[in-house]
Structure 1
Amino acid sequence: MSIRYYQQHAGDFFTATVDVDMRSLYAPFIALLPAQGTLLDAGCGSGRDSKAFKDMGYRVEAFDASAEMVALASGHAGIPVRRLTFSELDEAERYDGIWCCASLLHVPAAELPQAMQKLADALKPGGAWYVSFKYGDGEREKDGRHFTDLNEQTLENLVSPLAGIRIHTTWRTEDKRPGRDEIWLNALLRKA
């Protein structure tokens, strides 16, 4: 459902998100990364964050489930972007950092544990992992997209079964897009 939405609205979504200033969210994440580390932008959308991390000197790989978004992100970030879903990710301890900004929230709650395990497997020991979800508790559909909302406790319930992964910090922010009033749960995870 959400993939179809992004296929049909890729241009509008790209325009609405590509110039949003995310520096305040990048700072705590990159503080945990080695210089020139290898990052995965998982569910990269417009490629905004991939480009920002590449411009900071990181080696960036990215994927998105929507072919239209893959094309737009690849062009914007100047890197090859793979068309992939979270369930298709199959890497072992490859990345120093994984960035999941507003992407895992489209995974149905029943599929989130598997998606989280795939990402945990792909993270190197000592690696940092950023996730963000709309703040709440439960699943919903809005405008042709599926959302799984989390709060601190439901995030803890999701992370605690992942061997070696712990929550480093969580914080809430207001939506950074103009005219939006949603609250987001942000979290940094670490791998032992």
Structure 2
Amino acid sequence: MEEEKDPVAQGEKIAELVALEEREFKRFRQGTYADILFVLTPFLAIIVQRMWEGEIDKLLLGKELSLAAAIFAGLSISKFVQGLISHNDFGVYKERVLFMVAVTLFLVLTPAVILTIKLSGPEPVPGVIAYIQPLLLVASITLFISTIKIIKAPEEAEPIPGSIEAEDAENESSPFSADSHRGDHKTYS
């Protein structure tokens, strides 16, 4: 009983839990970076081979970068879905995660797959592809890294209903607020 009332002991327990959570998050982040290196390893071999043959310009116009972007987009979607399945307490964040899945499908995965297919054919490749492919790859890697925060989002404490934090959360003018699509707006006098 005395341990529960002792604020110093409670503070130490909280500090230990925070430190444990930070270590877990660091391991999760390192695992994500290891996944990135693992996926990029065969493409590094292709880059070295192209450099050896003096055909580095073909790297930007070949299908390899689009294929890597498609792989990272697929991994991002699987991480987003893993976050949705493993956490039942996403609450209003579910719509945000589903939005990120849709963005990944629409802006990264679909163009990357189409480019991979088109670049496999015998047609001449437009020069703009040399700019689009690296952008797709960077976007897909960025989305993959952002899944760390998405998956960890529900573990943050939700504000207690009626508290000042809850009112502040309701008053935020976020483009993704839960009430913005329903037209329910509170007016304060």
Higher relative contact order (CA 8 A, sep 6+): 2
Bigger Cα Rg: 2
More helix by percentage = 2
Is the shorter-chain TM-score for this pair beyond 0.5, marking a shared fold?
Answer: no
TM-score (norm 1): 0.22
More strand by percentage = 1
TM-score (norm 2): 0.22
